[in-house]
Amino acid sequence: MGGMQWHKGNIHTHAREGESDSSVEYVVKWYKDHGYHFLVITDHSTITFPPAFSAPTDSSFLLIPGEEIIGHGNKDELEINALNIHKAILPLHDSTDLGALQECINAVRRQNGVPIINHPNYKWRLGGNILLDSRDCNLFELYNGFPGTNSQGGDGHPGLEQVWDFLLTSGKRIYGVASDDAHSYKQFSPELSNPGRGWVVVRSKSLDVKEIVRNLDSGLFYSSTGVEIVDLLIEPTRIEVIIKDTGNTEYTTDFIGSAGKLLHSTKNNPAVYHLSSDSNYVRAKITDMDGHCAWIQPIFVVR
């Protein structure tokens, strides 16, 4: 990651009439004004291309084309995001949920785009086994800011961190993103789907569409609901996470391994974990005193 910078972005939000209370221009301005470097507007069954005012002449902000695709299986509909595609993908159908999910993923990959499996626990649409059996998708929503997406689980269903550990322990390499899924920009409350709740911070050499999307797909990012990472150092025998010190909060960093086992917990900053061969992967979760989190993507241990 030498020579790379952190770029903050949101990869799931809405702006079209009927899906949002605001225009594309308003939504883009909101994210620019709140310190984001890039944005993907993902309305259903339509692509939002960069408007003229956020074209390449604006080097401080990048609008990436995107769409939220609908798939119909044997239950309720499911949804995935498509990043950097050039042609809208209409709803796809299959006799099974896995088949519908795979059809959506394949349609994105055919356009050389990057797919993201959205809110698996929303209406309990996609269980861990379906995610495990899907192919060619490296990203899923670990956190979604839309009320009712059940990221923490419930009603006998596991939370998405548990699902993540199940997938990783089973040998699947998949990375967890955080997103807003915002629809409401004019009125703010816990019951509304507001912006600013979840985002990704991608490591890249430049604010370039292809590089940002490629590095997301490769896991060169962290996800957050409020905690900021200054740097992440990965060496053959240790991981070091340097957290931005705001001066008025305390952080707890949990290093988690195979089967969700807690390997080490520390309140030190930087947070350091010495790698061993006891786990096939190590991921880190940093939590502040207000419950805001950041998730470091899994580091895979080669024996």
Read off the pTM. Answer: 0.95
Domain end, chosen from 178, 196, 225, is at 225
Please give the distance of CA 264 from its chain centroid, rounded to a whole number: 24
Whether 59 and 203 share a structural domain: yes
Whether 91 and 34 share a structural domain: yes
| pLDDT over threshold 60, residue 55 | no
Whether 279 and 157 share a structural domain: no
Q: CATH no. for residue 126?
A: 3.20.20.140
- CB-based contacts of 58, cutoff 8 Å, min separation 6: none
Whether 21 and 154 share a structural domain: yes
Whether 124 and 253 share a structural domain: no
Whether 74 and 157 share a structural domain: yes
Whether 281 and 150 share a structural domain: no
% of the chain residues with pLDDT over 90: 86
179 pLDDT tier (thresholds 50, 70, 90): very high
98 SS3 class: helix
Domain end, chosen from 183, 205, 225, is at 225
Output the CA torsion sign for 159, 215, 80, 73.
negative
Give the integer Cα–Cα distance in Å for 151 and 143: 6
Question: Residue 102 corresponds to which tokens in the numbers above?
Answer: 């795979």
* pLDDT of amino acid 303: 66
Range of the domain at 232: 226-303
52 pLDDT tier (thresholds 50, 70, 90): low
Whether 38 and 89 share a structural domain: yes
* pLDDT of amino acid 3: 83
Number of domains present in the structure of the chain: 2
Whether 97 and 192 share a structural domain: yes
CA angle in degrees (0–180, nearest 5) for 209-139-184: 75
Whether 136 and 180 share a structural domain: yes
The pLDDT of 14-28, averaged and rounded, is 90
Which tens digit of pLDDT belongs to each residue from 129-161? 999 999 999 999 999 999 999 999 998 999 999
Q: CATH no. for residue 282?
A: 2.60.40.730
Domain end, chosen from 203, 225, 247, is at 225
Whether 67 and 209 share a structural domain: yes
